[in-house]
Structures are given as C-alpha cells and as structure tokens.
Amino acid sequence: MKDILRKCTYCDSKGIKSIKIGRDKFIYYNNKYYHYDCFIDYKIKNNEYNLSQEQIINIANEMVLKTKTIKSVKDSINKDRLIYWLYDYYNVSTFSNLFFQKLTKINNGTYSDKLIVPISCYDLLQIYKKMKSYLNKVNSNNERNGKNISLTNRIHYDLAIILNNYDEYIKWKQKQKTENVEKIKLQEEIKSKKDICINNITSIKKNQNQNNNKEINIAEILDEVF
C-alpha cells in the first residue's frame, strides 16, 4: 500500500506532499500539517513569546502526542488507509462519486433507515480485511453460476455485504475486548502471586542472613571473653 501523504505547510511547495504519515513524526497545528523539525524551525523564527529553544522543543513534543488524539486527523488518515487498501484489493486507481457519497453517509450514520449508527472508516477497513476471503469466494460463486458482475457493481455489492455483517463485527469486537480484559486480569494475578513468592523468598533469605550475622557476632564475643 502506498504512503499516506500530507502537505507540510512550512517546507512543501505547491502540489507537493512530503509528510509520510506512517513514517514521519508530524504535527497538526491550526488546521495545518508540519514535519516535526519544520514546526520547531517555524516556531523559532516566529517566536512571539520569546521562548527558549528547549521550551519550543518541549512544546513540539507535546504537540506530536496531541496530534495523535485529534479526531479529525485520525478520521482523515483512517479514510485514506481504507481507500488505499481498497485500491489495492480491487486493483483500481479511483472510485465513483457514488461510492464516496455512500462512504460519507455511512460515516455519518445517515446511510439508510436500517443503518443509523455511524461506522468509521477504521471499522470498515477491519471488516474488509476479515471478510476478504469471503468476498472473493462470493464473487467466484457468482461467476460460476453465470452471474457476472462488473467491477464497479462488485464494489457496491461487496460494500452491502460488509454493512450487513457490521453487527457480527461488533459482537466479535466486544468478545475480543472481554477476552483482553480477562487476559490482563489473569496476567495481573500471576504477577501478584509471583511478587508474593519473591517477597517470601527475600524475607526468608533476609532472616537467614540475620541468623548468620547473629552467629558470627556471638562467636566474636566468645573469642573476646576467652
């Protein structure tokens, strides 16, 4: 899958996007993207609050972490990840306006009366990945049965299958969450028992050392007396 790119407001000229989302450290500030180093240079040259370079670097580090939590940034990146994955899966370079219109409505929860819950591009991509083999199998069965579907129609056909399985995906997701919670709980219990065991061993060794020290001290006293 090709790199997801964003335009750096500071260093990219018109038509150029050099921030590689999956590789580069970047910052989203005032609705614009910056390379991490570019943001620091920008702030040093436009230092309206007379901050030290160290303070600016600290601010940049905080902005990197904050950027990862901004919903609009995450949604935009996840949408590109979904589209690029679908480009590779269907071996196409573009999708129809109708597909993007459907995608927007799905994200907003306005796709149909039967599907009023917003579905994120992140979740759609997870479902596509899990159902990839099934979608291929359905298409192969259709072809064997003489039901030849054009690629454009198949894209919409597959999307309908994906949406029909959203409830099952949510159940699976909840199950995974529950299993992860139980796994973490079990790991904590094992760690707790291990810590107790280690503490007991440490305590025993400590007592043994104290006893050994007592014996040594008594022997020294006896030597002095006799």
Bridge pairing between strands 19-20 and 5-6? antiparallel
**What's the whole-model pTM score?**
0.78
Amino acid at residue number 115: L
Mean of pLDDT values over 71-84: 97
Q: What pLDDT score does 129 carry?
A: 97
Please check the confidence at residue 173 and state whether its pLDDT lies above 50. yes
User: What Å distances lie between residue 14 and 45, 119, 143, CA to CA?
Assistant: 22, 34, 46
User: What Å distances lie between residue 171 and 3, 116, 123, 177, CA to CA?
Assistant: 32, 17, 13, 10
Please check the confidence at residue 215 and state whether its pLDDT lies above 90. no
Please check the confidence at residue 87 and state whether its pLDDT lies above 70. yes
Q: What pLDDT score does 206 carry?
A: 65
What distance in Å separates the CA atoms of residue 128 and residue 69, rounded to the nearest whole number?
24
Confidence of residue 221 (pLDDT cuts 50, 70, 90): very low
Given a contact cutoff of 8 angstroms between Cβ atoms, the answer to whether 169 and 135 are in contact is no
